[in-house]
Amino acid sequence: MKARPDSAVGEQASAEPENATKGTKVPPVRKPSEKKQATPAAAKSTPAKKSAAAKKAAPASKKTAPAKKSAPAPTPKAKAGAKPESHAALVRRARRINRELAEVYSYAHPELDFENPFELLIATVLSAQTTDLRVNQTTPRLFAAYPTPEDLAAANPDEVEELIRPTGFFRAKTKSIMGLATALRDNHGGEVPGRIEDLVKLPGVGRKTAFVVLGNAFGVPGLTVDTHFGRLVRRWKWTEETDPVKVEAAVADLFPKSEWTMLSHRVIFHGRRICHSRKPACGACPIADLCPSYGEGETDPEKAKKLLKYEMGGLPGQRLKPPPDYPGKPAPPLGAA
């Protein structure tokens, strides 16, 4: 079965202010609005009498200094004692976040280079414990040497190990990709199956890998729960689950099935570019006003801009062959300066 062109898998870009240093666009930050302090009832009307202690504490010759204005609330975190967010409210907020991300990342796409389902399957397995960039820099030689499952199944393991060495864990990965190539040759006529039940039976293939292939090579909706996806949905309080299968079920309950694949791309894009693990760029985040965790990272807009990665920071992306509408620079080949 032929893969759909990966440039059509999903796409998005916003009209944000320009990054002064790199000339790229940075998403506008919606800072939470400043909350007005409620005027105390005592301030509305002058009390008829003052206590003797109050008169001594405040001499008549001096006016009382005006109260200092409180700083704007930096985050929409729930106040102590406030009612927990209802499921309906959670669905509305989650879907609004998805719409906002769709505007910012209108060009979102799978960040692995591939030409067909077999290449995407192999690349996804190789992407474990490394970056998509390193996989994209490694697979051209691998696919040139072994373009089909039959070729890879009959390969010399030592030669495969040497080709995929840059991705790390190359011995275990060689065993997985040669094993799945053999299974495709022997059990599926050399074709990648289009059902999750068949995909997860292949060596080295779990639900995450299966949904990457199904969503981007076959157009079957699925949620890709990787480390970025799990981190962000917990920060947004969509779920508190840590098990990927439970995270998948919780998030699937918030969105129509038709949104699952593109939602995965948008969330992962946001996690890689702005909402980083150790130091999120809160001051450059376009959904700051919707995030219960705003303030965990750098909130100063100028400092936050320096934390942006890939095209958001004016740097090369992860793909050597990005889609035509990608606004950033292609990644360099392995070994290039």
Q: For the segment 114-123, what is each residue's pLDDT rounded down to a tens digit?
A: 999 999 999 9
Instruction: Report the distance separating Cα 307 and Cα 199, nearest Å.
Output: 37
Q: What is the DSSP letter of 310?
A: G
pLDDT of 171:
96
Distances (CA, A) of 150 to 35, 114, 121, 177, 252: 65, 18, 15, 12, 36
- Count of Cβ atoms closer than 10 Å to residue 301 Cβ: 16
Cα torsion 53, 56, 60, 62 to 10°: value is -110
- The segments of the chain whose pLDDT lies below 70 read 1-82, 337
Which pLDDT score, from 0 to 100, does residue 27 have? Answer: 59
d(CA 296, CA 122): 36
Counting runs of H as helices and runs of E as strands, what totals does the chain give? 14, 0
- Please state the φ and ψ torsions of residue 291, each to the nearest 5 degrees: -100, 120
Q: Model confidence over 13-71: pLDDT tens digits?
A: 333 333 333 444 455 555 554 444 444 443 344 444 444 444 444 444 334 444 433 33
Sign for the pseudo-dihedral over CA of 220, 225, 228, 232: positive
Whole-angstrom Cα distance, residue 259 to residue 256? 6
- DSSP label of 2: P
Q: Where are the alpha helices (DSSP H) in the chain?
A: 41-44, 52-57, 87-104, 117-126, 132-145, 149-153, 157-164, 170-187, 196-199, 207-217, 227-235, 244-252, 260-273, 301-305
Residue 293 to residue 18: CA distance in whole angstroms: 26
| 9 neighbors 212 (Cβ within 8 angstroms) | no
Catalytic (active-site) positions: 208, 226
**What's the predicted TM-score (pTM) here?**
0.77
Q: What is the pLDDT of residue 83?
A: 83
